[in-house]
Structure 1
Amino acid sequence: MRLYELAEEYRRVIDAIEESDGELSPTLEADLDAIEGPFEAKIESCCALVDEFERDEEAAKKAADRLKKREVAFGNRAKRIRKYVQDCMERAGVKKVSRPGFSAWIQANNASAKWTGDPDAIPPEFMRWETSIKFDATSAIESWKAGEKLPEGVVVGQGTHLRIK
């Protein structure tokens, strides 16, 4: 099979992968394996696919970042205008304004409390104890690297990954 034929076959499989939202099903994996051609050409084509998908991913991230910045800007504008309206109503002593399109009113928040004194002097009736035990993965990995026997229930693994330049 010629390289351009390989490219056409790969393009057909790529289109199928994109239609399935990037999911490499067993059928599509078998289609990739079935394409005839030298092993190196298959690897090259797969690396080109990875490169294309990573560029698409980066473009999508940039678009999402731009949209996130717009989201934050719109939210900040709404907060500033809301605060402005509240300040105006409070200064005017107005509790409620009703119009055909909107109603606005001043409402009390839930009560809040905080301790500003010495943390060791909190009265017992206002204390809440919190105990938290967490697995220390860093210590487990250090023990594993040092060749120490790990207790039952501790599993340390190290995988591999592919690098493409």
Structure 2
Amino acid sequence: MQVKLTTSRGDIVINLHDEQAPQTVANFLDHVRSGHYDGTIFHRVIKGFMIQTGGMDADMRSRPGGGPIRNEANNGLNNLTGQVSMARTSDPHSASAQFFINTNDNLFLDFKAETADGWGYCVFGEVSAGMDVVRDIESTKTTRKGGHADVPVEPIEIRQAEILDS
């Protein structure tokens, strides 16, 4: 299954790993279907690391993402360049709607053990088209805004997230 993110910088297509991360993919698709991601921005962009989205609008207002899901980072997938993973707090099982696209091989984010420090970040998809758009977003100038660091100076919006096949 694939999801297309139509952004203000171009399209990104994500192949979903529903066999390895079924609960995470189901949660992501629920957010796509509800229109949750439409109008959110890439609110955290760190060159050589990742680009994050799914939780804030252009005014840096949080968009509630629903309840947390169980971390499926122990699925054997790695946080490699182009892989899409769930964002979370320090609580390993706190992911809800925010996600990030790795722009580097970030193996330190991988699952190591079922402990607070070892859970890692669940990979649930990979960019299959639009990595040039990801790189363009990654290279944008950032600033501090609304108490957040690494925010693009010019908002980069997800205009629409849609399921391409089912």
Structure 2 length-normalised TM = 0.22
More strand by share: 2
More helix by proportion, 1 or 2?
Answer: 1
Q: Which structure's relative contact order is higher, taking Cα pairs within 8 Å and 6+ residues apart? A: 2
Please identify the structure whose Cα radius of gyration is greater.
1
